[in-house]
Amino acid sequence: MGVWCGALQQPGVHRMRFLLPDSIAGRTMVVLVVGLTLSHVASMALISVEAQDAHIAGDATACLVRIASAARQIAEAPAGERPRLAQTLSDAGLEVSWGWERGASADLVLPLVDGSAAGFRAGPPQHPPSLWSPHMVVSTLVMVAAIVGLGAWATTWVGRPLAAFAQAADRLGRHVSGPPLPGGGPREVRRAVAAFNQMQERIRRFVEDRTRMVAAISHDLRSPVTRMRLRVEMLPEGEARERMLADLGEMETMVSSVLEFARGEATDELSQTVDLAAMLETVCDDASDLGLAADYAWESRLVCTCRPASLKRAFANLIENAARYGGRAAVRAGRLDGDIEVVIEDDGPGIPEAEMKKVFTPFYRLEGSRNRRTGGIGLGMTVARTIVHAHGGDIRLENREGGGLRVTVTIPQGAAVA
């Protein structure tokens, strides 16, 4: 019937999340079962009331016919036989007496032709058929079973295009170059699919155009920067020359980083199944070769479906940042509810709460921790978050209680990465 709804937060409505399923198919099934069951019970109740009325009317008619027949038989019988005949005609439904006298108990007195009278008293009424008879219960259960079976098939058939639509929307958030969504389903769904495919194509063209533009600008800047460096190197040695060479070196680093970032964005890498634990250990070893303190707490193999080259680049940026600006990088990884969680901790000063979101902005650097002389230009965190988001994951930053920063990366593994 679906996952139980947990998104409602309003007072009074909050309790309903445990009653209503969260899917369209589940809610449609609830409406069908409850609505048709109530309708069936109401219809059976009306039929039962009509049956009770017909039963009462039939009992009254049958009683009158018996009274008329008994009165005729008593009137035609000899006087000596009438008491015995009256007793013979009596039963639980009708008590017959002859020679009725005033004060005797009777519901109905009929005078006979010879001046005597016959008394008649109806017995207790028979119970009419109950609404909750076994037939009614079986009928309701059969109807509910039919609704559940046919309703499950119908709602699945109708909801399948919507489920595919939701998967395509999720894939679009991770990979704009994914295949278009095939058309199908009702007219409204087909129109939504066509609009979605058109939107995806526009976003893809927009991203590709901007990426090509950034790459072209970065590439074209290399030539004038190189010419400027050659000209500056021909100047007499001095403080001004050294400062100009330092600025040109910084410009070259920025141009190379932007060009590398643009090329990485344009790369359409295929997903593969790799051992993420081995990848993290390799990244830590590479950082150690650079003289940085980085260590991975190995536990076991960690199979992951991802784009390995881009994901390795993301973790390299995060681990090197932690080791370079936080003193050391302590890395651990494991599974959490089926997904993969990687935690990177350092011993640095941490990040002010107001700066948590800004560190993901391109070319943004924290004062006192990242400067141009160390080689950072503020793209490492941007690249890492872009790659993690492309995998459908997320990055969270938080300051540790004992000091330092904790970076938590979550990589979903519920579905293959596009």
Is residue 200 within 8 A of residue 180, CB to CB? The reply is yes
Please, what is the average pLDDT of the chain? 76
Q: Considering only 115-129, 135-149, 195-209, 360-374, which range has the smallest mean pLDDT?
A: 360-374
55 against 290, higher pLDDT = 290
11 against 128, higher pLDDT = 128
Half-sphere exposure of 199 (CA within 13 A, CB side): 11
The CATH classification of domain 187-263, taken from the options 1.10.287.130, 3.40.50.1820, 1.10.3720.10, 3.40.50.2000? 1.10.287.130
CA pair distance 17, 180, nearest whole angstrom:
34
Extract the tokens encoding 312: 């390795």
pLDDT for residue 336 is more than 70? yes
Highest mean pLDDT among 135-144, 283-292, 351-360, 407-416: 283-292
pTM (2 d.p.)? 0.49
pLDDT for residue 281 is more than 90? yes
Q: What's phi and psi for 228, nearest 5 deg?
A: -65, -40
Is residue 3 within 8 A of residue 23, CB to CB? The reply is yes
Q: Considering only 80-94, 101-115, 243-257, 269-283, which range has the smallest mean pLDDT?
A: 101-115
The candidate with the shortest Cα–Cα distance to 336, out of 411, 391, 266, 285, is 411
Residue 162 CA from chain centroid, whole number: 12
The predicted structure's pLDDT at residue 344: 94
DSSP type of residue 324? H
Is residue 341 within 8 A of residue 304, CB to CB? The reply is no
CA pair distance 139, 290, nearest whole angstrom:
78
Q: Where are the domains of the chain?
A: 1-129, 187-263, 269-411
The candidate with the shortest Cα–Cα distance to 321, out of 250, 385, 255, is 385
- A 10 A CB-CB count for 300 gives 10
Please name the helix (run of DSSP H) or strand (run of DSSP E) that holds residue 212, with its range, or none. helix 187-233
The predicted structure's pLDDT at residue 11: 42
pLDDT tier at 263 (50, 70, 90 boundaries)?
Answer: low
pLDDT tier at 408 (50, 70, 90 boundaries)?
Answer: very high
pLDDT for residue 297 is more than 80? yes
Q: Which residues of 86-123 are buried (b: 16+ CB within 10 A; e: fewer)?
A: beebbeeebbbbbebeeeeebeeebeeeeeebbbbebe
pLDDT for residue 411 is more than 80? yes
The predicted structure's pLDDT at residue 376: 57
301 against 379, higher pLDDT = 301
Residue labelled with tokens 């990426």? 211
DSSP type of residue 22? S
269-411 carries CATH number 3.30.565.10: yes
Is residue 266 within 8 A of residue 212, CB to CB? The reply is yes
Please name the helix (run of DSSP H) or strand (run of DSSP E) that holds residue 172, with its range, or none. helix 134-174
CA pair distance 247, 253, nearest whole angstrom:
10
Model pLDDT for residues 85-120, shown as the tens digit of each residue: 888 877 767 777 776 544 455 568 777 777 777 777
The predicted structure's pLDDT at residue 9: 40
Model pLDDT for residues 143-199, shown as the tens digit of each residue: 778 777 777 777 777 777 777 777 777 767 666 666 777 776 677 777 888 888 888
